[in-house]
């Protein structure tokens, strides 16, 4: 069958190189590559299907599961405040360490 096929430049380059290495035509390289790709996709997996075993890790008593997002927000706010404190301390240290004329 004759058809027109548009290939990306990088892919065409790889196929042309492969054809030269194997000493075959570009057409044959394209056909072999497509056959190999379709063969891999058509193969069915053999073996048992993996089974997921659930496990309950649970939460410690006293943790309100309805407020987990609130806890995450509070931790994020604390981290932000701490990072701002560090920046302020670092900038004040830099200002003090300059020699006065």
28 lies in some domain: yes
Q: Please give the tally of structural domains in the chain.
A: 2
The answer to whether residue 78 sits within a structural domain is: yes
Which pLDDT score, from 0 to 100, does residue 52 have? 86
**Tokens representing residue 6 in the block:** 């548009």
Residue 21 lies in a domain: yes
Q: Is the dihedral of CA 14, 17, 18, 24 positive or negative?
A: positive
Across residues 86-99, what is the average pLDDT? 68
User: Six-digit token pair at 91?
Assistant: 């900038």
Look at residue 82 and tell me if it is in a domain. Answer: yes
Write down the pTM of the prediction. Answer: 0.40
- Is 52 a member of any domain? no
In a domain, residue 1? The reply is: no
Q: Is residue 16 one of the residues assigned to a domain?
A: yes
What DSSP character marks residue 67?
G
Q: Token match 């075959």: residue?
A: 24
pLDDT digits (tens, 9 = 90+) for 2-36: 889 899 999 999 999 999 999 999 999 999 999 88
Range of the domain at 91: 67-95
> What does pLDDT average to over the chain?
83
Residue 26 lies in a domain: yes
Direct distance between the N- and C-terminal alpha carbons of the chain, in angstroms, rounded to an integer? 88
């Amino acid at each position: 069958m004759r058809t027109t096929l548009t290939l990306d430049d990088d892919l065409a380059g790889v196929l042309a190189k492969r054809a030269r290495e194997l000493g075959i035509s570009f057409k044959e390289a394209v056909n072999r590559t497509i056959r190999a790709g379709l063969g891999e996709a058509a193969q069915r997996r053999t073996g048992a299907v993996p089974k997921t075993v659930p496990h309950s890790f649970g939460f410690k008593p006293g943790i309100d599961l309805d407020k987990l997002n609130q806890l995450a927000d509070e931790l994020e706010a604390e981290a932000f405040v701490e990072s701002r404190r560090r920046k302020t301390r670092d900038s004040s240290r830099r200002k003090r360490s300059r020699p006065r004329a």
